[in-house]
Amino acid sequence: MSYISFYIFAFLFNFTVAFAKFDPSTIFASSKYAPSARFGHSAVLTDTKLYFHGGFNGNENSNDFFYLDVCQDFSITDIPWDNLPFPGTPRNHQASACIGGENDDLIFMFGGNVTGNPHFTSKFDITNEKCTNLTSSGRKKNDLWIFDSYKLTWDISIAPNAPQDILGYSAITLPGGTILYLGGKYTSNGGLAPMGVGASGPAPPSRYYFSAVLTSDRRIIMFGGIGEDGSNLGDLWILDSETYEWSAENITNPNGLTINSHTATL
């Protein structure tokens, strides 16, 4: 089994990289740009740059847009952020984002808790550094829509056995083209979805607003979230997407990090 490293970006009260021991007072000591504290932001990796957008900063939704070039050497106490000052981007949190377009040079941002922007979809052109709002539609909360990032069009999928309306879940696209939906909270009754997904082994406690990433050897690494009692979680679980078996991993977490609404990027 191979071992990997990944960063969990929190922006909660202080910018936090999980499982690393450091003095929070030294964060951004000499960075040219220092993102403010936030949660519910979106993050997407394209080429060597990890882009971040939005989030709630404790007072209002943000439209901050910035990135980190992950190919350069950097310390967690001095992260070389680059700011992208584009006032046209929407103010939101809990939105989703992905890469698309013919050259994978477009960032699409979908939904979220939006302030002052009626558009469900926004497009950022990385090459031309331009943000555009796109017209889109939708009605039900548990419907499945497919967005064509080449044609910039939407189509609804008539998928059988659709689950209840749900929020705060994670969607993982497996190499074979299957999308695996994990966890979440039902908006109809406030209950949490089971984490078993037909897998063997002890299943993790139910949760929402957690992070999940897929490794090259098809393991899904899940961390944190909000549990049944409403408290933040700090446990790490791994789902083998080939055998569908859960396992709980012992992690080095000296600061006792418990968190939700963060992002994790491999």
The SS3 call for residue 164 is: coil
* Dihedral in degrees, nearest 10, Cα atoms 198, 182, 67, 149: 90
Beta bridge partners of 147: 154
Q: Which of 159, 174, 202 is the last residue of a domain?
A: 159
pLDDT of residue 13 exceeding 80, the answer is: no
Residues 6+ apart with CB under 8 A from 159: 144
Both 233 and 125 in one domain: the answer is: no
pLDDT in tens, 206-258: 999 999 999 999 999 999 999 999 999 999 999 999 999 999 987 777 678 89
Q: Based on the domain organization, do 125 and 179 belong to the same domain?
A: no
Give the three-class secondary structure for 124: strand
Which of 129, 159, 189 delimits the end of a domain?
A: 159
Count of domains observed in the chain: 2
The confidence band for 9, taking pLDDT boundaries of 50, 70 and 90, is low
**Whether residues 81 and 182 fall in one domain:** no
The CATH number for 135's domain is 2.120.10.80
Residues 47 and 154 in one domain: yes
Of the listed ranges 18-22, 96-100, 130-134, 202-206, the least confidently predicted one is 18-22
Long-range contacts of 138-146 (CB under 8 A, 24+ apart): 140/165, 141/165, 141/187, 142/166
The CA distances from residue 81 to 31, 95, 162, in Å, are 7, 21, 41
User: Is residue 65 classed as helix, strand or coil in its secondary structure?
Assistant: strand
Residue 16 has pLDDT above 60, yes or no: no
Would you tell me how many other CB atoms lie within 10 Å of the CB of residue 214? 17
The answer to the question of residue 110 being in a domain is yes
Could you say which of 131, 159, 187 is where a domain stops?
Answer: 159
Cβ count near 19 (within 10 Å): 17
Task: Answer yes or no: do 111 and 176 share one domain.
Answer: no
Question: For position 21, what pLDDT does the model report?
Answer: 33
Q: How would residue 183 be classed by pLDDT, with cut points 50, 70 and 90?
A: very high
> 17 pLDDT exceeds 80?
no
The answer to the question of residue 1 being in a domain is no
- With CA atoms as reference, report the closest residue to 100 among 109, 87, 91, 113: 109
Is 202 found in the same domain as 145? no
**Which among 188, 168, 172, 167 has a CA at the least distance from the CA of 260?**
168
- Comparing 41 with 200, the larger pLDDT belongs to 41
How far is residue 38's CA from residue 91's CA, in Å, rounded to a whole number? Answer: 13
The distance from CA 203 to its chain's CA centroid, rounded to whole angstroms, is 22
Distance, in Å, from the CA atom of 198 to the CA atom of 212, rounded to the nearest integer, reads: 18
Task: Domain of residue 46: give its range.
Answer: 8-22+33-159
Q: Residues 36-50: pLDDT tens digits?
A: 999 999 999 998 999
Tens-place pLDDT, residues 89-102:
788 999 999 999 98
Kindly state whether residues 206 and 77 are assigned to the same domain: no
